[in-house]
Structure 1
């Protein structure tokens, strides 16, 4: 009895059948990998778009922050100016009070 005859009788696949099965497995694996690759590329594309949008949003926010910073600096200067003006008016009022207040009498 040849081994090939025994293989048929035992249900062992021939080398050709084994190769065909291996080819099918590889084709299925390649198809799955291609599908995963497409999905990964789509995800990368989405991530790149999200990053670009985030950068645009950041740039807009930085622009608004710069505007608000300038506005805050102007307001701080106005507050300092008003405080100085208030102190000057307080001194002028105090001087006027001293001028119109009668001198204290000695007893």
Structure 2
């Protein structure tokens, strides 16, 4: 028995045209997903660029403020007008010394006013 019949459509196998159409549909879906991911990535990059610009601006202002503060500190440490220092420790030390000498002077005055002890 010799059977020369086309059996492709017996088993429900798709034709080459149907296979190409299915492949095209898969590729279209993949392209749509890729475009969506690309849009999200572009939005992320734009956000990162804005953040970078903001950080660069803040960094420049912080560096400028630091430079100004360092300049003020160096000017204060080099300044010797009227032999006064502007460093807080020196100011507190001077106040302590002044109060100590004033206290000693007042104690001496008190001793003189009371007179000798019997």
Instruction: Give me the TM-score of the superposition, normalised by structure 1.
Output: 0.68
- CA shift digits 1:25-77 (9 cap, x unpaired): 00000000000110010011001101100100001101101111111101221
- Structure 2 counterpart of 1:44: 45
Separation in 2, partners of 1:53, 1:2: 74
Partner Cα separation in structure 2 for residue 51 and residue 2 of structure 1:
70
List gaps (5 residues or longer) in structure 2: 86-118
Bigger fraction of residues in helix: 1
Contiguous gaps of at least 5 residues in structure 1: 84-107
Whole-angstrom distance in 2 between the partners of 1:60 and 1:2: 85
Structure of greater relative contact order (alpha carbons < 8 Å, 6+ residues apart)? 2
Moved over 2 A (4+): none
Taking structure 2 as the reference length, the TM-score comes to 0.62
Number of matched residues?
A: 82
RMSD over aligned CA atoms reads 2.2
